[in-house]
Structure 1
Amino acid sequence: MLEFMDYVQTAFLAQSRWNIDNSYASLTTTAHHLLDFHIPQGLRLHVSSLSSPRFATSYTLGSRGVVDGSLSFLYSSAGLSIASTSRSVHLESVVRGYRHLQELQRPDERHWNEIWHAGRRVDRKDALLYGRLYLPTSTLEALYLRRISPTRLLRLNCVSDGALPNGGSVLALLQNDYGKYSTEYLYSTDSALLGLRGLYNFGYDPRVPYHQPSARLPAHPWDHQSGRLSAGAEAYFSPVNKSGGVSCGLRFTTLPTHTGFPYTMTLTVNPLMGNLSSTYAVKAGRNLALCSRFDFNVYSYESDVVVGMELWQRKQASVDVAWASKLVRPGWSKVVEDDVNGVLKAQMDNNGKVGLLWECRIKELLVSLGAAFDLKKRERMLGSVGVEVSYSS
C-alpha cells in the first residue's frame, strides 16, 4: 500500500499532467506490483495529514526489535484537490496492483499554461518539496520535483547519512516525455554515475492524431488501436569505478479499447550479465489479476519462476444505492463511496518462498497485514509477520 506521502506525490504528478507510465523505468511496473509487493515486518503506525492543499505532514512509528520512526513534510506549489482522509481515500488509489495503461496524450503546448497580467507573465512552474528524517539514525532524505515545461520534469533525490561515503549522495534525473517517445538523463554523485534511458512507442503518434501512416490509420479518427508495443533501453557508466551496464526491453499492453481480457507482456535483457526476464500479467476478471515471471541466465543456466495473484473483495451494492446512482442528474453533487472491502495478494517462487498480503479498510484505518513463508524450512516455515496501520486526516 502506498504511504501517504507517496500518494500525495502521485497526485501532484497526475494533476500536472505527467504520465508516469511513459518511461523505460516503468516498463515492468505491472509485474513488479503483482509479484514484488512489500510485506510488513513487525508493527508500524502511520499518522498523516493534508492540513492544506499545499502542505502535508506524516509521522511513522515502528517496532522491529528496536523502536524507530520518521518525520515527513511536503510542500506543493500547486494546490492538490484529492481525498486525504483515510476513510475517504479509495483503496484502488493506494493499493499497487494491475496497471491499466491509457492511450497516449498529446503534450501541452508551452503557451497553454502561460498566464499574463499587465504585460507580464505571472504563472509559475509547479514544484514539490519533500523531506523525511529517520530516527534514531538521523538519516535525512529529500526530494525536489519541478515541472520545467509541459514535456520536461526535473527530479532531485538527496540522502544525508554519516554511514554513506562522503556523508550522502545526490541523484539528478531529467525526464522528457513527448508522448511518442521519452528520454531520461541521470547523474549520481555516488561514483559519478552517468546514465541514459529511452522508450519508444510504436503505432499511434499523439502529436499528429489526424496524420497517421496509412497502414495504421483507424476507421474512425477517435478509434485508436487496442494495444501498444513499446521498446526501450538504458545505459550507464561510472568513470570512478570504470564500470557500466546496459539493458533493453519490450512491452506490449492492451488499451481500454481492447474488447478482451486486459494483459501486459514484457521482455527485458541484460546482455553483459546474461540475464533474461519475461513477464505476463492478465486481468482475468474485474476482481482477479494473475502474473508470472521467468528469469534465466544464459551463462550459468540458472532460472527462477515466480507466480502471483491479486483478488479484490467488493461490497454488494444495494438496490436503493443502484437506483439512486441512476437518478442523479448532471450538476448534482454526489459522494461516490468506495466499493472495495480489501485485496488479497499472494506470490510463490520455485524455491518454495511464499508471500501473502491482505490490505483493507477497518473503520477509519487503512490496514496491511502480511506474512512470508519458506516451505523448504519445515522446522520454521514462518519467516516474518507484520502489520501496518495508517490514519490520515
Structure 2
Amino acid sequence: MKELLNKVKQHKNGAHVGIYSVCTANTLVIEAAISHALKHNEILLIEATSNQVNQDGGYTGMTPSDFAKMIYSMASEQGLSLERVILGGDHLGPNCWQDLPAAEAMAKSEVLIEQYVAAGFQKIHLDCSMSCKGDPVPLTDNQVAERAATLCAVAERTWQKNKLDAPVYVIGTEVPVPGGTSEDEDELAVTSVSAANQTIAIHQQQFEKAGLSDVWPRIIGLVVQPGVEFGTHKIIHFEPEKAKELGESVATQPNMVFEAHSTDYQSQQHLTDLVSNHFAILKVGPWLTFALREACFALERIEQEWVTQGQLSELRDTLLKAMQDNPKYWKKYYSADGLAQLIDCQYSLSDRIRYYWPDPEVTKSLSRLISNLDKNPPPLTLISQYMPEQYHALQSNELEYSCKALILHKISLVLKQYSIACGTTIAAI
C-alpha cells in the first residue's frame, strides 16, 4: 500500500507515473498479470467488483475471502511477493441490491464492505450512486456522499478491529454506468470541473460530519468520465483537449488523482495521454478477456488444421452453446438477431463471453484444446498464420512453446500498453 501511495505522491509531484488496475476473476488473465508484474518488477493491483465477488458469492461464487486466497495463492505459486500485490474492491455499495429498499440495501452493503476489508482488500471504491427501491432517481449528491461516509465508517472500524493496514479510498462514479455505451453515441460528455469539485466538496463535508476527517488524506482517487468508453463494436477514444481543464482541476487536491474506468481498447498514445492528464489510475477488464478469447479462437483454428478429426475440442461451439443455454449475461446487451447476434456473442468489445469460461463444459473443451496442441505441437508456420505476434516471440526466443504460454503472451501484450502508459520501464516481451 505504501507503494501505491508513493505512486500517487510521485504523480502529484510532476512525474509521469500511474498505475493500472486489472479487473477480472479469470484465472488465466490473473496468471498473465502476475507473470507480467513479476517480469517487469511492478506492483500488481487486482480488483473485484461487487457483482463478481460478495458475501453471497456473486456471479463467480466467491466471497471476498475466497477471492483474496485465490490471488495470494497464485501469486505465491509464481514467486511474486505478496507485498507487491494490492487487492481492490470496485463499485462497493448497493449495486447488487438496487431492487431492495435503501435501508436493506445499505445493511447488505455494510456486510459487503466489512468482508472486503477483513479479507485484506486495501483499495476501496465507495460507490453509492445507484438508487434503490423507493429512492429518487437520481440520488442527490448529499445522499450519495452520506451513504459513502456510512460505508467508510464500517471499513475504518473493520481494519482497526482486525489490526490491518489502513485502506485507501476512491469516491465518485463514471457516466454511463459500467456495461458499455450505446452504439449510437460518437462521443461522451466529459465530467465538468464544477461537477467534480462539487462531488469532492460534498463528500468531504459528509465525511467530516461522520467524524471521518482524519480519513480524508487516504482518499486517493475520484472516478470521473474523461470521455472514454466502448460499446458492442465501437470505441470512443480519449481526446486530451476536451479533458484538459478537468485534468488540471485535480491539482488543487494534495492527495488525489482521477481514476478512469472503461479504458479498454484505447490506443497506446491515448492511455499515455490519460496518465499525462492526471487520470493516473487506469482500469482494464474486458480487453484482457477479449485477448484471451482471441488467443483461444486462434488456437482452435490451428487445431482444426492440425489435429485429426474426431479429437477436436470444439471450443467455439461449446462456448456458444453455453451462452444460448444461459443467456442472462448477454441477452440485454445484444439486441440483434440471426448472424448479427452470433457475431455479437463472439466478438463484441463488451465481451460478454467472459462470463462463460468457468462453465464446466467450456473448461473441459479448453483443456482438450491445450492438451491436443501440447501433445502434438503444430509447425511454426501455422502459428505464424493465426498468431503472428506470438510467432515472432517464439522466433526471438522470448517465448517457449506451449499452448498456455501463447495465451498468456497474447494477454501480456495488452498489459504491456498499460505498463508503458503508467511509466514502467518495459523489457522485451
State the TM-score bracket (shorter-chain normalisation): under 0.3
The answer to which structure has the higher helix fraction is 2
Normalised to the residue count of structure 2, the TM-score between the two structures is: 0.26
Normalised to the residue count of structure 1, the TM-score between the two structures is: 0.28
The answer to which structure has the higher strand fraction is 1
